[in-house]
Amino acid sequence: MVLPQEKSRTQTCPTTNINPTSFLEAALVVASMLSPRTIQRNGDITTVIWNDGKATVVRRAKDDPDSEYIAFCAALAKRLYGSNSAVMRAVTNADSEVQKKRYLYRKKLAQKAQQDKEKQAKERKLRRMVKHIQLMDEARNRYMETLDSKDDSKDET
Protein backbone atom coordinates (compact mmCIF):
# COMPACT_ATOMS: atom_id res chain seq x y z
CA MET A 1 0.00 0.00 0.00
CA VAL A 2 1.38 3.39 -0.99
CA LEU A 3 0.71 6.35 1.26
CA PRO A 4 -0.14 9.70 -0.34
CA GLN A 5 2.65 12.24 -0.37
CA GLU A 6 2.26 15.01 2.18
CA LYS A 7 2.35 18.53 0.78
CA SER A 8 5.37 20.60 1.62
CA ARG A 9 4.67 23.03 4.44
CA THR A 10 7.33 25.48 3.35
CA GLN A 11 6.34 28.43 1.24
CA THR A 12 8.36 30.51 -1.14
CA CYS A 13 9.29 33.89 0.25
CA PRO A 14 7.57 36.50 -1.98
CA THR A 15 10.45 38.99 -1.82
CA THR A 16 13.36 36.62 -2.37
CA ASN A 17 11.70 33.73 -4.23
CA ILE A 18 13.59 31.36 -1.93
CA ASN A 19 11.93 28.28 -0.50
CA PRO A 20 13.60 27.81 2.91
CA THR A 21 13.44 24.28 4.22
CA SER A 22 14.39 25.14 7.78
CA PHE A 23 14.35 28.02 10.20
CA LEU A 24 18.13 28.21 9.98
CA GLU A 25 18.02 28.66 6.22
CA ALA A 26 15.36 31.36 6.58
CA ALA A 27 17.48 33.11 9.21
CA LEU A 28 20.51 32.97 6.95
CA VAL A 29 18.50 34.46 4.08
CA VAL A 30 17.30 37.32 6.26
CA ALA A 31 20.80 37.86 7.67
CA SER A 32 22.26 38.01 4.16
CA MET A 33 19.60 40.55 3.15
CA LEU A 34 20.38 42.70 6.21
CA SER A 35 24.15 42.58 5.76
CA PRO A 36 25.56 45.86 4.51
CA ARG A 37 27.51 45.87 1.28
CA THR A 38 28.83 49.40 1.80
CA ILE A 39 28.35 52.24 4.26
CA GLN A 40 28.83 55.69 2.78
CA ARG A 41 29.06 58.77 4.96
CA ASN A 42 28.74 62.35 3.76
CA GLY A 43 28.53 64.82 6.63
CA ASP A 44 25.38 64.14 8.66
CA ILE A 45 23.98 61.73 6.03
CA THR A 46 24.79 58.02 6.05
CA THR A 47 23.75 55.70 3.22
CA VAL A 48 23.80 51.95 3.79
CA ILE A 49 23.68 49.80 0.66
CA TRP A 50 22.51 46.30 1.53
CA ASN A 51 23.51 42.99 -0.09
CA ASP A 52 20.21 42.81 -1.97
CA GLY A 53 20.99 46.15 -3.67
CA LYS A 54 18.54 48.32 -1.72
CA ALA A 55 19.75 51.44 0.04
CA THR A 56 18.71 53.12 3.28
CA VAL A 57 19.53 56.76 3.98
CA VAL A 58 19.58 58.22 7.50
CA ARG A 59 20.42 61.69 8.76
CA ARG A 60 22.15 62.35 12.07
CA ALA A 61 20.13 64.44 14.52
CA LYS A 62 21.78 67.57 15.87
CA ASP A 63 22.05 66.23 19.39
CA ASP A 64 23.31 62.73 18.40
CA PRO A 65 27.04 61.98 18.51
CA ASP A 66 28.81 61.46 15.19
CA SER A 67 29.11 57.67 15.15
CA GLU A 68 29.09 55.22 12.25
CA TYR A 69 27.72 52.57 14.60
CA ILE A 70 24.71 54.71 15.59
CA ALA A 71 24.09 55.58 11.94
CA PHE A 72 24.19 51.91 10.95
CA CYS A 73 21.82 50.93 13.78
CA ALA A 74 19.41 53.67 12.71
CA ALA A 75 19.58 52.46 9.10
CA LEU A 76 19.03 48.85 10.19
CA ALA A 77 16.01 49.82 12.27
CA LYS A 78 14.63 51.87 9.40
CA ARG A 79 15.20 48.93 7.04
CA LEU A 80 13.44 46.48 9.40
CA TYR A 81 10.45 48.71 10.15
CA GLY A 82 10.17 50.56 6.85
CA SER A 83 10.22 54.13 8.16
CA ASN A 84 11.42 56.29 11.03
CA SER A 85 7.87 56.76 12.28
CA ALA A 86 7.36 52.98 12.43
CA VAL A 87 10.59 52.66 14.44
CA MET A 88 9.41 55.40 16.80
CA ARG A 89 6.03 53.68 17.22
CA ALA A 90 7.75 50.39 18.06
CA VAL A 91 10.01 52.10 20.61
CA THR A 92 7.10 54.03 22.12
CA ASN A 93 4.94 50.92 22.35
CA ALA A 94 7.75 48.93 23.92
CA ASP A 95 8.42 51.79 26.32
CA SER A 96 4.74 52.07 27.21
CA GLU A 97 4.63 48.31 27.88
CA VAL A 98 7.58 48.66 30.24
CA GLN A 99 5.92 51.63 31.91
CA LYS A 100 2.66 49.70 32.19
CA LYS A 101 4.47 46.77 33.82
CA ARG A 102 6.24 49.16 36.22
CA TYR A 103 2.94 50.84 37.02
CA LEU A 104 1.23 47.51 37.71
CA TYR A 105 4.16 46.36 39.85
CA ARG A 106 4.15 49.60 41.86
CA LYS A 107 0.37 49.39 42.20
CA LYS A 108 0.70 45.83 43.51
CA LEU A 109 3.38 46.98 45.98
CA ALA A 110 1.16 49.86 47.11
CA GLN A 111 -1.79 47.50 47.60
CA LYS A 112 0.41 45.14 49.62
CA ALA A 113 1.66 48.05 51.72
CA GLN A 114 -1.92 49.22 52.27
CA GLN A 115 -2.97 45.71 53.29
CA ASP A 116 -0.03 45.49 55.70
CA LYS A 117 -0.91 48.90 57.12
CA GLU A 118 -4.54 47.87 57.63
CA LYS A 119 -3.45 44.60 59.23
CA GLN A 120 -1.15 46.46 61.62
CA ALA A 121 -3.95 48.88 62.51
CA LYS A 122 -6.29 45.94 63.27
CA GLU A 123 -3.59 44.33 65.41
CA ARG A 124 -3.06 47.60 67.33
CA LYS A 125 -6.81 47.94 67.88
CA LEU A 126 -7.00 44.34 69.06
CA ARG A 127 -4.09 44.86 71.47
CA ARG A 128 -5.82 47.99 72.85
CA MET A 129 -9.04 46.04 73.31
CA VAL A 130 -7.20 43.22 75.10
CA LYS A 131 -5.44 45.76 77.33
CA HIS A 132 -8.78 47.44 78.08
CA ILE A 133 -10.37 44.09 78.96
CA GLN A 134 -7.42 43.26 81.23
CA LEU A 135 -7.74 46.62 83.00
CA MET A 136 -11.50 46.14 83.39
CA ASP A 137 -10.88 42.63 84.77
CA GLU A 138 -8.30 43.98 87.26
CA ALA A 139 -10.69 46.73 88.34
CA ARG A 140 -13.50 44.20 88.82
CA ASN A 141 -11.18 41.95 90.84
CA ARG A 142 -10.12 44.88 93.06
CA TYR A 143 -13.73 45.88 93.54
CA MET A 144 -14.65 42.31 94.43
CA GLU A 145 -11.76 42.21 96.93
CA THR A 146 -12.99 45.41 98.56
CA LEU A 147 -16.49 43.97 98.78
CA ASP A 148 -15.13 40.75 100.28
CA SER A 149 -13.09 42.70 102.80
CA LYS A 150 -16.18 44.76 103.81
CA ASP A 151 -18.20 41.55 104.19
CA ASP A 152 -15.46 40.05 106.35
CA SER A 153 -15.34 43.17 108.56
CA LYS A 154 -19.14 43.10 109.01
CA ASP A 155 -18.98 39.41 109.94
CA GLU A 156 -16.33 40.12 112.58
CA THR A 157 -18.48 42.70 114.31
Alpha-carbon span 143 to 140, nearest angstrom: 5
pTM for this entry? 0.47
pLDDT at 156: 67
pLDDT at 29: 75
Does a structural domain hold residue 1? no
Does a structural domain hold residue 98? no
Does a structural domain hold residue 103? no
Q: How many domains does the chain have?
A: 1
- Helical (H) or strand (E) element with 48: strand 45-50
Does a structural domain hold residue 149? no
Check residue 67 and report its DSSP letter.
-
Strand partners, 38: 49
Does a structural domain hold residue 116? no
Does a structural domain hold residue 27? yes
In order along its 157 residues, the chain shows pLDDT tens digits of 444 554 455 555 555 555 656 777 777 777 777 889 999 999 899 999 998 889 999 999 888 888 899 999 999 999 988 898 988 888 887 777 778 888 889 899 999 999 999 999 999 999 999 999 999 999 999 999 888 887 777 766 6
Alpha-carbon span 74 to 54, nearest angstrom: 15
* Residue 63, domain extent: 23-82
Does a structural domain hold residue 35? yes
Does a structural domain hold residue 124? no
pLDDT at 1: 47
